Amino acid sequence: MCSTGDLILVIAANDAALTETPPDRIDRWLAARLAQQDDAPALSRSRIKGLIQGGRLSAGGETIANPSQAVKPETTYTLTVPPPEDAVPEAEDIRLDIVFEDKHLLVVNKPAGLVVHPAPGNPDGTLVNALLAHCGDELSGIGGVKRPGIVHRIDKDTSGLLVVAKTQEAHHGLVVQFAAHSMERRYHALVAGLPRPAEGRIEGDIGRSPTNRKKMAVVSRNGKPAVTHYTLLEAFGTAASLVECRLETGRTHQIRVHMTHIGHALIGDPLYGGGGRRRSKDLPEAARHAIATFPRQALHAGVLGFRHPVTGEPHRFESPLPADLAGLVDRLRSI
């Protein structure tokens, strides 16, 4: 199975290769072997597994279709890698606030209201559509498709910093850092009430709510471990507070769920309690109105830190509160 534009990789499982890369199942061994070769493309194990299952690995003229088959000594394998497919979403010329970019990745400051990835209900007008237009041919093919590598997401109505991979190598390196919880991710949130103590660690497994499938919740069964650290930055009487939340893990709606779980839902959050209307009755009218009419969850991804997945250089980015959140804070300071 070979066509114009295919990349042909020949990998010999000789004594030297097996000494450097010990024998394993063939998909894992090929991924490890290619990762040790400077001139080889970065292919993840899952990508190689898919190629094998697609009949693109052979040895001695015979096709190997089982990715779990053990590597055989003194065998020369031929892996045929097709060119990246065109991305399914269409490129769209949407303005982006890019705070860092090189040939491997970029960091974007996402505005509230912008969906990260196309999905039912939001087939276009997303960050991915914008990145396809911005990056163009710089995208080298992640998982065999010319697309930006989205390794983490923030909700449509959350603003702030997001890192995106352009290459398979960068994508893999960022995924490893997320899995190891070694990235620094800090959010600013306006929450209802006054958290006590002023600093804390919230630990509770997060899973689908048993009573509302549209919501996530802290659950006792079938959830994923989740840890959030919070610090009180500023109190506005006892009605509202500005807090910093540091993510140790990254679960769907984690900050929104955890802060609601301890009784301090985010202001403006329509899904997890509405945030603050009941506690704002003693505030001046202007501040009370500002809380009641704030149109989104008051959450901003303000700090993002990581090691560059290719160069190893440490990076740390900060994004100030956007105008809508900064304006709400100013109104609350008028108490």
Catalytic residues: 155
Distance of CA 171 to the CA centre of its chain: 10
Q: Which of 86, 215, 231 is nearest to 146 (CA)?
A: 86
Helix (H) or strand (E) holding 255: helix 254-261
Distance, CA of 39 to CA of 212 (rounded, Å): 51
Residue with tokens 């501040």: 287
DSSP one-letter code for 199: E
List of residues 6+ apart from 29 with CB closer than 8 A? 13, 21, 23, 71
Q: Which of 74, 45, 46 is nearest to 59 (CA)?
A: 74
Beta strands 199-203; 149-150: pairing state: unpaired
Q: How far is CA 147 from CA 128, 142, 305, in A?
A: 8, 6, 23
Distance, CA of 44 to CA of 46 (rounded, Å): 5
Cis peptide upstream of residue 197 (ω within 30 degrees of 0): yes
Q: Which of 279, 278, 271, 277 is nearest to 299 (CA)?
A: 271
